[in-house]
A and B are shown apart, each in its own frame.
Chain A
Amino acid sequence: GAVVSQHPSRVICKSGTSVKIECRSLDFQATTMFWYRQFPKKSLMLMATSNEGSKATYEQGVEKDKFLINHASLTLSTLTVTSAHPEDSSFYICSASVHLAGGQFFGPGTRLTVL
């Protein structure tokens, strides 16, 4: 149980385009989903927390208009990187949780490369 999927697993795009990444909880309903960014050989950096049906809460320094998050249902959250630039290239990971104190489960990650 507690499986989280992400799609796509890898994406290469041109500078200026927008990229959407989906995060799904496959066998449970997630009240909260999280989006992380990870640079090579670094730890995970929390970007935002999203709850179904409400606006995402962004961490300090993360641009809301750059990284659009939609949590349309209890099993789906999307992250859209708008007008992507090479500096947005990174490994993006989502996680989902039924309740925060119960732990979170991670998706396999999406590797974004912006040319």
Chain B
Amino acid sequence: DAGVTQSPTHLIKTRGQQVTLRCSPKSGHDTVSWYQQALGQGPQFIFQYYEEEERQRGNFPDRFSGHQFPNYSSELNVNALLLGDSALYLCASSPGGGYYGYTFGSGTRLTVV
């Protein structure tokens, strides 16, 4: 049984560009959350999707947006990239909202130059 799959694994972008990261949740999971993990820090919550709607949002600007598809997969889009957006972006899935804990993917390492 595949866990959470994220693509790509690594990405280099230039300031001002736009990026799209992708996530396929674990089988049977309908809720997808995105986190940003800067070097040496804990993961910071960006937003959560359930039933194709953004259900919760953390303290991130509108440059960060997302989408969830009917098959529960999800995308994270970041516009107008800043150097400070360089981080590991983690996708986590859970059944029904996260009460039982989350399954994390291996992440996408984004470097903005």
**A in complex with B:** no
